Amino acid sequence: APPLAAGEADLVLLGCWTDNAGRTPAEMKAWVAGIAERGERPRQLAVFGTGETQWGQEYYCGAVHRLIRYFRSDYPPLEIEQMPHGERHAEAIDAWTDTVLAHYWSNSDADHRRHHA
């Protein structure tokens, strides 16, 4: 089966690492450009990703913040230092997932695209 179009998904969870100086990686930029060219826009989108504070707080998870601004997401981001590992990150991921789903369910009742006359 072909992949689901971003505009047809009820909720998109978008994960991205941050490249040098807080930039969005080329692979993610290509994906975003591809859906834009096809006229797709996710109905609802939450972003998670990684970054490294050793390069400066202003660059930390820069790709996450750029994607949130681009897609105008009102979901809270999940930011992880370097890569997830251990119980602390597992708990943070669980809590973020619960928050995202609660936010989704609170928004889905008001989503006019889901209801047809």
In a domain, 23, yes or no: yes
Say if 62 falls within a structural domain: yes
Question: What is the per-residue burial (b if ≥16 Cβ within 10 Å, else e) of 14-32?
Answer: bebbbbeebebeeebbeeb
Our count of domains for the chain comes to 1
The predicted-structure confidence for 52-62, as pLDDT tens digits, reads as follows 998 888 999 99
Q: Do the domain assignments include residue 95? A: yes
Query: What's the CATH number where 64 sits?
Result: 3.40.50.360
Q: Residue 115 is inside which H or E element, if any?
A: none
Q: Residue 1 domain-assigned?
A: no
CB under 8 Å to 51, separation ≥6 — which residues? 17, 18, 22, 59, 60, 61, 62, 63, 64, 79, 80, 81, 82
Secondary element (H or E) of residue 95: helix 86-108
Domain housing 26: 6-114
**Which tens digits make up the pLDDT trace of 43-80?**
899 999 999 998 888 999 999 999 999 999 999 999 99
In whole angstroms, what is the distance from residue 72 CA to residue 45 CA? 9
pTM of the model: 0.83
